[in-house]
């Protein structure tokens, strides 16, 4: 099988690595990819947001499967065009991708499916902002009603900070979504979805704030671990049966059947799981930890999903143990990151014993040096018999990587997690 992977981050690096482990995969082409992915796949340039360009590339490389990593091309309907051109595509249609692209659409689908989520209001006029803020709090959740790579979300107990963020979004012409705050630890559950067939992967937890102890602003994600020792098996079943399956069925009923990866982000509160958000693609950085534990042929699972045969294939098998991923970020991230700094100690191949070094925002200078080229620069994944060993391995590997001005969280997978009890 020849697989074309669209995207350029550490998530796509993890996808490519898992695809290369599947013996049915004869070649992987990644576009645009990054220098780390380039060690495993042929790299091609493409405008990811251009349906025509992606179709032309799939034709040129004679792809047997096209995997679209990021949300932006999916929301723009790139998968529709590639599918219409006759290629099996792992990724939902533009209509189904609205589950991530429009928070208002997602809320409507969840209400119809009877899924618990935060109470919310959309504000699109600055004159309505203050009165709307008064109906929320004491913790305000202020979101951009569109795609913002996690950075459009402010969660704060400071009404002025909530107001400033809402006003800034409105000034940029973005409608603002205000939500009630959902208490309890967060879970990311990725499910392969093909119409009404739902196959969960391992549950994971992301760490979205930039600093240790969940301090500082939100980021695209600073680290993650899987599976979740504190999550009861029955809660996982409840998420699949009472959250993901009803939403998948509701999308089918609306004529927007989902095909690809449906990502449920939930908070596990006193009353059980409640949805924080749905995304229409693999999450970053959770995927890097989840796929490190996959013990099944990955291309087969994606191809079966893309061709409407997910119900026919064996459920994914998982290695025992745990995996964590720690993000190495550039100076000043999540603000405007400093780029162009030389990275040393990242190694040549992604796999190094029980650790992986995945590239996110990296580039290659003319003299061949590996340099930082984005906010999140590298992901170091550790796999171990348990979470403690996975952490130890990841942080030891990370200590051998040097990037001036860089920072990372030291507490990924280390915080005591408890589900609030009523």
Q: How far apart are CA 166 and CA 24, in angstroms?
A: 49
Residue 214: Cβ within 10 Å count? 15
Q: Which residue stretch of 41-49, 111-119, 247-255, 282-290 sits at the interface with ligand GLY (rule: CB under 6 A)?
A: 282-290
Burial class of residue 141 in the structure, from the number of CB atoms within 10 Å of its CB (0-12 exposed, 13-18 middle, 19+ buried): buried
- In angstroms, what is the minimal distance from the CB of 176 to ligand GLY? 19
CA atoms of 279 and 89, how far apart (whole Å): 17
**Minimal distance, residue 342 CB to ligand GLY, in Å:** 28
Token output for 246: 């009803």
Number of residues that bind ligand GLY (CB under 6 A): 7
Candidate residues 92, 283, 297, 382; the one interacting with ligand GLY per rule CB under 6 A: 283
Beta carbon nearer to ligand GLY, 61 or 75? 75
Show the binding pattern over residues 204-243: x = contacts ligand GLY (CB under 6 A), - = does not. Answer: --x--------------x----------------------
Q: How far is CA 97 from CA 34, 38, 142, 179, 305, in A?
A: 25, 28, 22, 21, 16
| Beta-strand pair 2-7/197-200 | unpaired
Which stretch in 12-20, 161-169, 281-289, 304-312 sits in contact with ligand GLY by CB under 6 A?
A: 281-289
344 in helix, strand or coil? strand
Tell me if 12 contacts ligand GLY by CB under 6 A.
Answer: no
Q: List the beta bridge partners of residue 175.
A: none
Peptide bond into 285 cis (omega under 30): yes
- Contact call for residues 188 and 206 (beta carbons, < 8 A): yes
Least distance between ligand GLY and beta carbon 327 (Å) = 10
Residue with smaller CB distance to ligand GLY, 87 or 278: 278
Q: For residue 322, what are the β-bridge partners?
A: 384
Sort strands 362-364 and 140-144 into parallel, antiparallel or unpaired: unpaired
Q: Is 150 in the site for ligand GLY (CB under 6 A)?
A: yes
Binder among 286, 300, 341, 354 for ligand GLY (CB under 6 A): 286
The residue among 145 and 286 lying less far from ligand GLY, judged by its C-beta, is: 286
CA distance linking residue 177 with residue 180, whole number of Å: 10
Q: Closest residue to ligand GLY, Cβ-based?
A: 283
- Closest CB 422 distance from ligand GLY, rounded Å: 28
Does 279 engage in binding with ligand GLY (CB under 6 A)?
A: yes
Residue 308 is a binding residue for ligand GLY (CB under 6 A): no
Residue 63 or 153: the one with the smaller Cβ distance to ligand GLY is: 153
Nearer Cβ to ligand GLY (166/283): 283
Instruction: Say how far apart CA 232 and CA 196 lie, in whole Å.
Output: 24
Which chain residues interact with ligand GLY by CB under 6 A? 150, 206, 221, 279, 283-284, 286
């Amino acid at each position: 099988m020849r697989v074309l992977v669209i995207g350029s981050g550490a998530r796509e690096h993890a996808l490519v690595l898992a695809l290369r482990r599947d013996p049915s995969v004869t070649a992987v082409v990644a576009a645009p990819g990054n220098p780390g992915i380039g060690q495993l796949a042929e790299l091609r340039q493409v405008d990811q947001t251009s349906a025509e360009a992606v179709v032309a590339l799939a034709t040129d490389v004679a792809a047997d499967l096209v995997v679209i990593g990021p949300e932006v091309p999916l929301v723009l309907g790139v998968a529709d065009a590639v599918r219409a051109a006759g290629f099996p595509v792992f990724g939902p249609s533009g209509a189904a991708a609205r589950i991530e692209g429009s928070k208002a659409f997602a809320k409507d689908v969840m209400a119809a499916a009877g899924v618990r989520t935060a109470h919310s209001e959309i504000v699109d006029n600055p004159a309505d902002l203050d009165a709307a803020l008064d109906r929320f709090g004491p913790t305000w959740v202020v979101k951009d009603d569109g795609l913002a790579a996690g950075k459009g979300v402010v969660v704060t107990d400071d009404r002025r900070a909530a107001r400033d963020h809402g006003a800034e979004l409105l000034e940029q012409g973005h409608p603002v979504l205000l939500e009630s705050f959902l208490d309890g630890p967060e879970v990311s559950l990725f499910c392969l979805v093909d119409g009404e067939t739902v196959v969960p992967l391992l549950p994971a937890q992301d760490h979205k704030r930039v600093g240790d102890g969940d301090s500082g602003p939100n980021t695209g994600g600073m680290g993650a671990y899987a599976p979740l020792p504190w999550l009861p098996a029955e809660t996982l079943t409840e998420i699949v049966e009472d959250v993901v399956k009803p939403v998948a069925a509701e999308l089918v009923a609306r004529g927007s059947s989902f095909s690809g990866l449906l990502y449920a982000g939930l908070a596990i509160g006193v009353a059980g799981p409640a949805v924080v958000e749905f995304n229409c693609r693999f999450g970053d950085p959770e995927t890097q930890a989840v796929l490190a534990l996959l013990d099944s042929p990955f291309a087969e699972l994606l191809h079966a999903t893309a061709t409407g045969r997910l119900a026919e294939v064996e459920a994914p098998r998982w290695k025992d143990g745990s995996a964590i991923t720690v993000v190495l970020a550039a100076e000043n991230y999540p603000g405007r990151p400093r780029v162009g700094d030389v990275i040393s100690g990242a190694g040549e191949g992604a796999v190094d014993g029980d650790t992986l070094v995945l590239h996110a925002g990296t580039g290659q200078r003319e003299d061949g040096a590996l340099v930082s080229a984005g906010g999140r620069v590298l992901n170091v994944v550790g796999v171990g018999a348990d979470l403690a060993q996975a952490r130890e391995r990841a942080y030891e590997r990370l200590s051998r990587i040097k990037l001036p001005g860089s920072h990372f969280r030291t507490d990924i997978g280390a915080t005591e997690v408890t589900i609030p009890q009523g």
